[in-house]
Structure 1
Amino acid sequence: MSYPPAPGRSAVANAVYGLLNPIPFGFFVAALVFDIVYAKTGTILWAKGAAWLIVIGLLFAVIPRLLNLVQVWITSRRFSTGADHVDFWLNVVAIVAAILNAFVHSRDAYAIMPAGVWLSVVTVTLIAAGHVVIAVRYSTAREILHD
């Protein structure tokens, strides 16, 4: 899903953001799937895999959030909308939940349930809600332009 850059935003920063922003979501969804499989099977491999997926997702989440921080709050705050702010804060809270989830996954394998699953659900839900907010904003803006 690509979005046109808002006025006043760097095209390069927008391209890097658009390229890197979906990557953490994929890792966090995979971690959620691994957590659910671990909860059903009890095979420790799934718990360790989920821990790695969460950490890799967090590593990839830093760059888009920093770019978004600069774009929404510093360089183009005149052009940023409420949806941009809501998306930013939903993603920040999701990253905090993922950090807590990484700490939960550092425990012994049997000690991560059910907190690991719930934190994975919260992380994925918050990031998905941020994507929905931005998608609604752009579809509403597109409808206004076509009318």
Structure 2
Amino acid sequence: MAVLSSRDRDSAAYPLQSLFVPFPFVCFTLALGTDIAFWQSEGNIMWQNFSSWLLFAGLVFGAIGLIAGLLDLIRRRTRPLRPGFLSIFLYIVVLAVALLNSFVHAGDGWTAVVPYGLFLSAVTFVLALFAAVVSARKYARLAWRV
């Protein structure tokens, strides 16, 4: 029979979503960078392909993060570390804008990135940054409460 110390119980309460949520933010930030590189290189197709793959990877890890978040809603031990409603809403909006951005990037050539793809990448980045700030504020309040 295994005896769990308090340290073991605290580590069991780590939310699963925290493992997957940072990946989409990194991928969407890098997608903005590769869109800017595409724009500045005057249409080097390599940057458009990088953007498309980064958007795809961000969406895949974002979907995994949503599933992990739903599992965290079920777990009682992760109750204090659950994100607030605004954080969840912003995260879903970020994924929706990134999905639209991925559809825009599915086109060929210059017009797939420069007029609307670059704008949607910037909007995705700003929304992701705002979601991270809103989420971090809750965790900062929890740290001071302990």
Local SS of the residue matching 2:89? helix
Change (3 A) 1:83 1:111: same
Give yes or no for the alignment of 1:55 onto 2:52.
Answer: no
- The aligned residue for residue 122 of structure 2 is 121
Structure 1 distance, partners of 2:81, 2:54, is 32
Decide which structure has the larger Cα Rg and report it. Answer: 2
**Please, which moves more after superposition, 96-105 or 134-143?**
134-143
Uncovered stretches (5+) of structure 2, i.e. residues with no partner: 1-10
Local SS of the residue matching 2:84? helix
Give yes or no for the alignment of 1:98 onto 2:98.
Answer: yes
Listed as ranges, the matches of 1:1-147 within 5 Å are 11=12, 14=15, 16-42=16-42, 43-72=44-73, 79=79, 84-112=84-112, 113-145=114-146
Change (3 A) 1:89 1:138: same
Local SS of the residue matching 2:107? coil
TM-score of the superposed pair, with normalisation by structure 1 = 0.78
Structure 1 distance, partners of 2:33, 2:134, is 24
Change (3 A) 1:37 1:141: same
Uncovered stretches (5+) of structure 1, i.e. residues with no partner: 1-9
Residues 91 and 130 of structure 1 are in contact (CA less than 8 Å); yes or no, is this contact kept in structure 2?
Answer: yes
Residues 28 and 54 of structure 2 are in contact (CA less than 8 Å); yes or no, is this contact kept in structure 1?
Answer: yes
Change (3 A) 1:143 1:12: closer
% of aligned pairs identical?
31
Q: How many residues are aligned here? A: 132
Residues 31 and 51 of structure 2 are in contact (CA less than 8 Å); yes or no, is this contact kept in structure 1?
Answer: yes
TM-score of the superposed pair, with normalisation by structure 2 = 0.78
Local SS of the residue matching 1:107? coil
